[in-house]
Structure 1
Amino acid sequence: MSAVVDAGAIRSWLGLFAEEVGSHVDLLTQLDAAIGDADHGTNLDRGMKAVSGALATADAEPGVLLKTTGMTLVSTVGGASGPLYGTFFLRMAGSASDADSLDPDAFAAALRAGLEGVVARGRAQAGDKTMFDALAPACDALDEALASGATFDDALRAASVAADAGRDATTPMLARKGRASYLGERSVGHQDPGATSAALLVATAARALSTGASP
């Protein structure tokens, strides 16, 4: 495959994610108000604004940009979102190492490493009603599509579709992790805010990393 994810592509992805988080602040806050502290949207928006500032003038390989993103989120985002998203990007950075660019398989491996970081940090499993429920299906779909010979664009779209389905599937779930778990049965019937922002992360990757995307 000729598709590559270089520093410019990573910057575009994270910039687009920051924009989408900003556009969905009210939704994320509303979702979190139902089963959490009502701060997921504002916290993540603040963190991604800080990330955009940190990356604005950065001229480095993908791993450095991802590490900068992770460290910025850990230091600026409160609650569970900072450590979880921060760990996600730090693990992605570790997988990317010092490569100048990532081919589709290397990007998929980095995304998987990020997911494993989320699991290590939050101990979440499928069905716990967390961001894992959107990220894990996305990683699986991306791996499966690439293994079947799909183009990177099609594989990313498949990952986004899977993330959206995982997000939607959290609504009837009983929360077993985080503050939402304190609500017991009252957590049922509410879409998880973390899974919602995670689906936005995958959707923006599908848009920004497409071979037809504007630089």
Structure 2
Amino acid sequence: MTVTKDQILGWLKACAAEFAAQQDYLTDLDREIGDADHGLNMNRGFTKVMEKLPTFEAQPIGGIMKGVGMTLMSSIGGASGPLYGTFFIRAATSTASAEELDLAALIKMLEDGVAGVVMRGKAEHGDKTMCDVWWPVLQAAKEAKDAGSDITAALDKMVAAAEEGAKSTIPMQARKGRASYLGERSVGHQDAGATSSLIMIKALAATVSGS
């Protein structure tokens, strides 16, 4: 079983739909410890991705990833644009000419993307960022691969890890970004970036499984 280019395109469309539907929810989360613009920014960015998609959707997966990243970079304000833009641009590295991805290639693509985010944002474990979702997701994916799981089963485990990762940010004190200025007052709130990453992972799993 593989993830096809059509499924990657479907994932991006699902992300756009989810960020439109969840705009207010993400904004409410961000209002507590941020600038109250994360939902607006993610919706704006993926709306622009949908507008631009016809110009690069015929390319291999790497070209699609790069196109998404460049679009997010140029259309999202604040930290989200550079971080998510970097995620997709770096995700293009290992998928340059790929038309489909097996589980190992999917993990490598996501791993490259997360490495780009870490490089850009200098995040560490427990900083209350999107990486506190992506790191356990990658760990779950690798464990599923080592256990011989297929992509659908691996994605189910990745979603479960993402849900736990997002919840784990609630008791954390933010050490990066706007929320870090609040010190202990950032404790008790789920990180908006971690939540938007959860939304993306859930959208990928749903697209691949056809649910």
Q: What TM-score bracket applies, with the shorter chain setting the length?
A: over 0.9
Structure 2: how far apart are the matches of 1:198 and 1:140? 15
Structure 1: how far apart are the matches of 2:129 and 2:65? 22
- 1:151, distance to aligned residue in structure 2 (A): 1.3
- 1:59, distance to aligned residue in structure 2 (A): 1.3
Q: What residue is the counterpart of 1:115 in the other structure?
A: 114
Q: How does 1:3-82 map to 2 (within 5 A)?
A: 3-56=1-54, 58-82=57-81
Q: For the Cα contact (< 8 Å) 2:102–2:151, is it kept in 1?
A: no
Tell me the amino acid that sits aligned with residue 115 of structure 1.
V
Q: What residue is the counterpart of 1:197 in the other structure?
A: 196
Structure 1: how far apart are the matches of 2:163 and 2:147? 21
TM-score computed with the length of structure 1 as normaliser: 0.95
- 1:56, distance to aligned residue in structure 2 (A): 3.7
- 1:6, distance to aligned residue in structure 2 (A): 2.4
Name the SS for the 1:51 alignment partner.
helix
Q: What residue is the counterpart of 1:83 in the other structure?
A: 82
Structure 2: how far apart are the matches of 1:81 and 1:134? 15
Q: For the Cα contact (< 8 Å) 2:2–2:151, is it kept in 1?
A: no
Structure 1: how far apart are the matches of 2:27 and 2:3? 32
Structure 2: how far apart are the matches of 1:38 and 1:173? 19
Q: What residue is the counterpart of 1:186 in the other structure?
A: 185
Q: What residue is the counterpart of 2:155 in the other structure?
A: 156
Structure 2: how far apart are the matches of 1:184 and 1:177? 10
Tell me the amino acid that sits aligned with residue 23 of structure 2.
V
Q: What residue is the counterpart of 1:206 in the other structure?
A: 205
Q: For the Cα contact (< 8 Å) 1:7–1:59, is it kept in 2?
A: no
Structure 2: how far apart are the matches of 1:197 and 1:45? 10
Find runs of 4+ consecutive structure 1 residues off by over 6 angstroms.
Answer: none
Structure 2: how far apart are the matches of 1:30 and 1:199? 16
- 1:61, distance to aligned residue in structure 2 (A): 1.1
Is there any run of 5+ residues in structure 2 with no aligned partner, and where?
none
Structure 1: how far apart are the matches of 2:4 and 2:63? 11
Structure 1: how far apart are the matches of 2:202 and 2:4? 18
Structure 2: how far apart are the matches of 1:154 and 1:98? 26
Aligned residue-pair number: 210
TM-score computed with the length of structure 2 as normaliser: 0.97
Tell me the amino acid that sits aligned with residue 34 of structure 1.
E
